[in-house]
A and B are shown apart, each in its own frame.
Chain A
Amino acid sequence: MNKACIIFCCLLLNDIVFADIHYIKPSEDIQERLQEAMILAKPGDTIQLDEGLYKLTDGLSLTQREVSIKGAGMYKTILDFSNQMSGAQGLLVTSDEVLLKDFAIINAKGDALKVVGVDGIYMINLRVEWTNGPATSNGAYGLYPVQSKNVFIEGCVAIGASDAGIYVGQSENIIVKNNKAMFNVAGIEIENSFYADVYGNSVSNNTGGILVFDLPDLPQQGGHHIRVFENQSYDNNTDNFAPQGNIVASVPRGTGILILANTNVEIFKNNIHSNGTINLAIVSYFQDTSDDNYYPHPRSVYIHDNIFSDSGFDPDIDRNELAKMLVDLANDDMPDIFWDGVTPFYQMIVGQPQEERIGLGENVGASFLAINPIKYLLPFLDPANRDYQDFFTNRPSLEKVIINLPNERLY
C-alpha cells in the first residue's frame, strides 16, 4: 500500500516538476505543428516560438490551462494571418492561467487574439496589428478578452483595429498598463466590466482614445469601478472607420476619453490633449432599449489632477451627431470636458444625489461644459452650463486593482 502510494506520488511529481518546453520554428507545415503543440501541451508547459515569420492559414486555439506561449519579441516572432482561410480570429484562448508574451499577431481576418471565459490571462509585450493601416475591412479587435476574470495586459501594441485595439468586455478584475494603441477606431475600450485599472498607456491617432462603456441586453452589465490614470491620450483624430451598427461607429473623430453610462469612474493624472472634437466626454446611452435591468446614465464620475489642452479644434461635424450638438452648444468655445447632463427624469427636477454627480477636482487647463436638460428642451434659454465650481468637489479615490502574476513563468 505504502509503496503504491510512493509510486503514485512520484508519478504526480514527475508531471509537475518536469514541465516541458516545446520549441517551435517556422516551417512549411507550421499550421499543423503549432496547433498540435497547443493541443498536446500539458499544464505548466511552455511553447517557445523562435523568431521568424509564421505563415498561418487557419485560426489557432488553445484550450489547455496554465500554458505559456512565448516568442522572441513582438517584432521578431510574427504570426502572420494574411492568408487566413478559416477561423474567426487569429488565436482563441479558452483556458485559465494562460501567459502570452513577446510575439505578434498580424492581419487576422477577424479578431487578432480572443480570450473567452477564463480566470487568469496574462498578455505581455504582444503586438496585434493590421499592417495596411486603418481600414473598415480590418478585423474588429486586437486584444479581446471577454467574460473573463483577472485580465492582465501590459506593454502591448495594438494598431489598425476596425473596432478597438484593446477591448476588455464583460470581465472583472482588469489591469491594462503601459500599452500603446494607435490608428484603431477605439484605442482602449473597457465595456460592461467591473474593477479595471487602465494606466500608463499611450493612446494616439485613434478615432477615440479610451472608451469606458456600458451597454444593455448583455449577460454582464452595470459596469463600475473603473480607474483611468496616468495615460497619454492625444491626436486621436483619425476618421471613424468602424462598420455601421457597432457602438463605436457612433464615436466622433477627435475624442480623447469617452465615458458612456457606468458607475464609479475615476479619471486622474492623465495628459489629454490635441483631440479635435473633445478631450473628455461623459454621456448617457443614447439608443432605444427595453432592458429594465440596465441603467443608461453615468454615475459618480470623478475627474481630477489631469492636464488638458487643445480640445475641439476640428470637430467631426460632417458625420457625427455628438460633435454637431457640441458645436451648437459651445458657441465657438469648445470645452475640454463635456457632460450631456442626462439623468432619470425625476432627477432632472429634484437634482442628482450628491455622490452620483459628476465630480471635478483640480485639473490643469480644463474648461467645462454641461447641458442643462430642462433649459435644452425650452426655447430661448442657453442650456450650456460652464460653471466649473458648481461641480467642484473632493472625493476619496477608488481602490486599486490587484492581480497576482505567475512570476515564476514570466522569464
Chain B
Amino acid sequence: MNDSIKIRFFFYAIKKSRYIVFLITFFCFGVQADLNVNDDLILTEGFPDKLSAFRFFEDTRSQLPAKNVIPYDLISSLFSDYTKKNRFVYVPDSLQAKYETDSVYQFPIGSALIKTFYYIKNEQLEMSEQQLLETRLLLRKNDGWHAASYAWDDAQEEARLKIAGATINTSWVDKNGKYRSVRYRVPNKNQCQECHEANKQIIPIGPKARNLNKNKYYADSEAELNQLYYWLDKKVIDFYPDSLDLVVDWQDSTKNLNTRARSYLAINCGHCHSPQGNGASSGLYLGFTEKRPIHIGVMKKPVAAGRGSGNKLYSINPGKPEESILLYRMQSMDPGIMMPESGRSLVHDEGVNLIKEWIQEMR
C-alpha cells in the first residue's frame, strides 16, 4: 500500500466506524422496553426509517398518544386536500416552551410537533374507517428545527421516512356523499422547508398562542378545557396572555367576515407571503397583522405572476372577485397557476367561497 492509499483507507475506516457507533447506540436504546418518548432519538442527527422508533404513540393505529404527548387543535388550519389532522406536541419533562408575542411558542431543545394526516373514508357515516396518509414531524434538535415526513403503509401499521416525498392515489366520500379521488402528495424534505422557512431557518407555523386559544376535550381530565390553560397546567408552556381574541375560526359564520378571511389567508398563505418567507419578492403579504392595503393585494399589480395573472390586472379588485388574481389562483389546479404552490391538488371550495364573498363585500 502506498501512503496516499493508506491515508485514504484510514479516513474511510473512520467514516465507517462512525456509523457503526451510531448503529450500536441506536440498537441499545432501541431494544429497551419503555413507554416513554425516545428523547435521544429526537436529538440524534437525521431521521430513523420508522416512525414507531420515536414511541410518540401508545397505539399507532388509533393514534393514542404516549405519555406527555399532548393532542391539540388550531382555531384555523391549513387546507390540505380535505384531509383531517391529528396534532400533538411533545416537550421534554421539566422543560417549557416560552411565549412569544405575535409568533410561535419558542420550544426547548428536544421538543417535537407531530401531525398525522388522514381521510375519513366515508364522512357521512358516524363510525367510518380511516386511512392514515402521513405523519409529519418537526423536531427541535440542538441546531434548530428539522422537518421530515413518514408515509403510512397499506396495512396502517407503520409509517416510513419519505425523504423524497411520495404520491398516494386514494379516494373518500365527502360529507355531501360525493365520491372524491385525489393524487395526494406527501411533501419531500425540501418542500417542508419551503413553507416552514423564515430568514433561512425552519420554524413551526401553527402553535402561536392566538391560534391555540380554543377548547378541546381532554380524556385525562374528562373535561373540555381551554388548550392554553391545559398546556400551562401541564407545564408545556410558561405563559399565555389574557386577551387573545384576534384570529377566528374561518368556518364560524357568526364572526366578522373580514376577520374570517384574514384568518384563513394567514394560516394558508401567510407563512410564505411574508417579508421573511419564500414569497417575499412578490410584495404580497398575507400575515394576520399586515395592515397596508396594497401589500394585502388591494389594487396591487402582479410582479412575476406570469400566466398566474389569468389576464387580470390586480391581486384583489374590490367588489370584483372574478377580476382578482388572488381568487383565480385559489381556484386553479394548474401547477403553473395555483396557490399555494405545493400541498394542494384539489380546490378548497369552502375557502374559495369565503374569499369570494370577502372580495365581493370589499369597497
Contacts and interface: CB of A to CB of B under 8 A. Distances in A.
Contacts of A59: 335, 342
Nearest to B280: A219
B190 A85 contact: no
B191 interface: yes
Interface stretch (B32-40, B86-94, B310-318): B310-318
B295 interface: yes
B304 A163 contact: yes
B307 interface: yes
Interface string B163-185: 11110000000000000000101
Interface in A343-369: none
B283 A217 contact: yes
Contacts of A40: 163
B188 A169 contact: no
A303 to B, nearest CB: 28
Interface in A1-47: 7, 10-11, 13-14, 17-18, 31-33, 35-36, 38-40
Contacts of A18: 11, 15
A48 interface: no
A199 interface: no
Contacts of B278: 94, 116-117
A147 B282 CA distance: 10
Given A163-B306, A244-B313, A246-B305, A39 B188 contact: yes
A293 to B, nearest CB: 12
Contacts of B325: 245
Interface stretch (A135-143, A222-230, A261-269, A271-279): A135-143
Contact of A167 (B183, B304, B307, B308): B304
B336 A109 contact: yes
B304 A136 contact: no
A243 B311 contact: yes
Contact of B313 (A36, A144, A245): A245
Interface string A72-111: 0000000000001111100010100000000000001111
A165 to B, nearest CB: 12
A217 B183 CA distance: 37
Interface in A122-145: 136-141, 144
A279 B202 CA distance: 48
Contacts of B194: 61, 92, 94
> Of residues A40, A86, A139, A141, which shows the largest number of chain B Cβ atoms within 10 Å of its Cβ?
A86
A218 interface: yes
Contacts of B185: 58, 86
Task: Give chain B's interface residue range (CB within 8 Å of chain A).
Answer: 35 or more
Contact of A61 (B188, B336, B345): B188
Nearest to B325: A245
A290 interface: yes
Interface string B139-180: 000000000000000000000000111100000000000000
Contact of A245 (B165, B197, B280, B301): B301
Contact of B15 (A14, A167, A219): A14
Contacts of A92: 190, 194
A247 interface: yes
Contact of A17 (B11, B183, B334): B11
Given A140-B304, A147-B280, A170-B281, A14 B14 contact: yes
Nearest to A29: B164
A217 to B, nearest CB: 5
Contact of A38 (B190, B200, B338, B342): B190
A87 B335 contact: yes
Given A147-B280, A169-B304, A215-B303, A61 B335 contact: no
Given A162-B306, A219-B281, A243-B309, A88 B14 contact: no
B302 interface: yes
A86 B281 contact: no
A287 B303 CA distance: 13
A140 B309 CA distance: 10
A252 B294 CA distance: 27
Interface of B: 10-11, 14-15, 18, 163-166, 183, 185, 188-191, 193-194, 197, 200, 275, 278, 280-281, 283, 294-295, 300-314, 325, 334-338, 341-342, 345
Minimum-distance CB pairs A-B, first 6? A140-B306, A245-B309, A110-B336, A88-B341, A109-B336, A36-B164
Interface of A: 7, 10-11, 13-14, 17-18, 31-33, 35-36, 38-40, 58-59, 61-63, 84-88, 92, 94, 108-111, 116-117, 136-141, 144, 146-147, 162-163, 167, 169-170, 215, 217-219, 243-247, 287, 290-291
Given A14-B14, A109-B335, 11 more contacts: A13-B11, A17-B11, A35-B164, A84-B335, A85-B345, A141-B304, A162-B306, A219-B275, A245-B305, A287-B301, A290-B294
29 contacts: A14-B15, A32-B164, A32-B165, A32-B166, A33-B164, A39-B164, A61-B190, A61-B191, A86-B342, A88-B335, A88-B341, A92-B194, A94-B197, A139-B306, A141-B304, A147-B281, A162-B307, A167-B304, A217-B301, A218-B283, A243-B311, A244-B312, A245-B301, A245-B302, A245-B309, A245-B311, A245-B325, A246-B304, A246-B306
